[in-house]
Structure 1
């Protein structure tokens, strides 16, 4: 029944397309002259809804589309006419034979029935394929005559690259400011405290006091070293170069304050830039989940198809993440710089799903 309904909808749509041909031909000439352009756009919108195509097009292209579409509409009408003619012939023969008659002098012999059955099925198949071909032709015309031209696509691509370059520069500047803040507020303060402790230990007269100050200085040096390693890790993990992306992602899982399940299913080699982007997407998404989501667990999945690698980070938190936030915006810029895209789905109440798609090369 589902297949029958689908073909019935296809036949109805092609029939409507054939029925609107006279209106389209009446509208095209005035529209070419700049008159009655609104009816042309209305007929084009009807055709787009009928064939299931969504295209954002300038008003002037509607006339060009209708000027060509009427040919396909007539072809669809012809296919429907032939299907109706064949169906009518089959009904007339069967009805006549059932009444004991011989329509057009054709007797209901076994080989005659087999012959007409085979020919009828072949013609039915050809007619249905003709309907599908007419629908495909209309969709092709809509996308090519109403959609962006090659020049439009080039202009859009140039605009996207210019915007991506500007966003990348802004992201680099923001990353530099963050590193400066981390060094100033963390490591630098530790080093200042270390210097003060060493100075006090040099001036201390009692050996016990000097030993205590040196012990405190040693502890402060250890904490400064840990913070320096943490800053270096946030800038770029050496593990990514030394041991590869899987090991770097496992390190993110180990350092996570929440239980993290990692699935890495990428067999093909990835480019260095892609691996770096994957690492930072996972790390930033996990960091945001730990800090803001109120989640109890995180799942990370990295998979790859023939041309695309997909990164999905999901948590069971309360949701409400803002895609325009600083961290997610930086991720979107990093992904866009590699012709990828980032999606954030975080309804109130959760869960939050961060999904990125990147080209494998």
Structure 2
């Protein structure tokens, strides 16, 4: 909850605290049931995601606990999941009650100020805890003062208190250093396997393109030239036949060169070598079927492999925008901070993009992860869509 208007932050903080009160009470009531490791993991994951959304902090998903018995109790994260139960019960109820008292007394003052007279004398509302409202002077002075003070309190306190509770949640449920290292090794192992698979597939594609295309045409050219040579030695006056063979060989040579250039372009686009990343992205955005704005900061020197990855990723993303998004505008912003290159691609289309469906986004993610980068896709139904890629670009 680091952005947005203060009133929006106060509203989000208040709803978060009231929700924490409900979950704290639920934790107390269902404590014996929630002590089961698998249920504790689900409960903890839900609170962790909730805290991350409030703090607007992207969090890597925690795996659901599928094992049972001793293996579930031996899981390194189980003690933290169980620790969160009493912590949530205490902090959620305590901080949530503060928010409830503030909101409740604010509503009481809002009702008592104009409607105090509608209550029976023995049931007249009370302001500032124990001051009965018996006349208009009390209603307008104390009622207005209570509304003003409690509104100021909610405005100033709800957001920081909610953030404090969310941070407590993340601290309790954070991975230990050993688990972070293990997770990192697992991610690198998975991305390395993906890279090797992608590299093998790319090599097979290049070999297939060369074998089925360029090599086949070169063999045909060699055969025509051999026939032309034999025909020249057997009958040097058959000019028409020789001309046809040489023309076919010449055309085949040009076609082979075209196919060879296409293969080379798929490995490293020549436009990157000629015009750099800025010029290459300018050409890509200009060719996009959707009007696309391109913003590029000073990038300094970017490794060639990273340039190629960014070029292909942006090209694939804009192709998806033009084909599937129904967008009318798109944007690409490339910036660099220290040794991290950031690429943000946006469109105002229908949204719903999901790389788990095997779309081009999956290829983009594999390409970026190969460089130990990150990809974040935000594409709710109805749009808009935002793709954020970060790649290391240090020397």
Tell me the CA shift for residue 164 of structure 1: 0.8
Question: Following the alignment from structure 1 to structure 2, what is the Cα–Cα distance between the partners of residues 287 and 83?
Answer: 50
Q: Is the 8 A contact 2:44 2:173 kept in 1?
A: no
For 1:46 and 1:329, the matched residues in 2 are separated by 29
Answering whether residue 362 of structure 2 is matched by residue 337 of structure 1, we say no
Residue of structure 2 equivalent to 1:244? 276
Match of 2:223 among 156, 176, 196: 196
Q: Does 1:207 align with 2:220?
A: no
Q: 1:278 aligns with which of 310, 314, 331?
A: 310
Question: TM-score, normalising length from structure 1?
Answer: 0.67
Of the three residues 281, 290, 297, the one matched with 1:267 is 297
2:171 aligned with 1:144, yes or no? yes
Shift of 1:280: 1.5
Distance 2:38 2:253 in 1: 77
Structure 1 residues 142 and 297 mapped into 2: Cα distance closer, same or farther (>3 Å)?
closer
The aligned counterpart of 2:202 is: 175
CA distance in 1, matches of 2:283, 2:308: 14
Secondary structure of 2:133 counterpart: helix
Let me know the Cα RMSD of the aligned residues: 5.3
- Unaligned runs of at least 5 residues, structure 1: 101-107
1:162–1:42 distance in 2 versus 1, CA, 3 Å: closer
Partner of 1:161: 188
Could you say if the C-alpha distance between residues 302 and 143 of structure 1 is closer, same or farther in structure 2, counting changes exceeding 3 Å?
A: same
CA distance in 2, matches of 1:37, 1:234: 55
| 1:229 to 2:261 alignment | yes
Closer, same or farther: CA 131–38 of 1 in aligned 2, 3 Å: farther
Where does residue 249 of structure 2 map in the other structure? 217
How many matched pairs? 330
The answer on whether the counterparts of 1:300 and 1:313 sit within 8 Å (CA) in structure 2 is yes
Q: 1:67 aligns with which of 86, 107, 112?
A: 86
Counterpart pick for 1:37 among 24, 35, 38:
35
In 1: Cα distance, 2:221 partner to 2:49 partner: 73
Whole-Å separation in 2 of the counterparts to 1:46 and 1:67: 12
Over residues 99-122 of structure 1, what are the superposed CA-to-partner deviations in whole Å (9 max), with x where a residue is unaligned?
89xxxxxxx9xxxx69x9779845
C-alpha separation in 2, matches of 1:50 and 1:354: 23
| Distance (whole Å) between structure 2 residues aligned to residue 296 and residue 18 of structure 1 | 44
Alpha-carbon distance in 2 for matches of 1:279, 1:314? 22
- 2:69 is matched with which residue? none
**CA–CA distance in 1 between the matches of 2:37 and 2:207?**
61
2:228/2:242 contact within 8 Å kept: yes
Match of 1:135 among 162, 168, 185: 162
Residue 213 of structure 2 aligns with which residue? 186
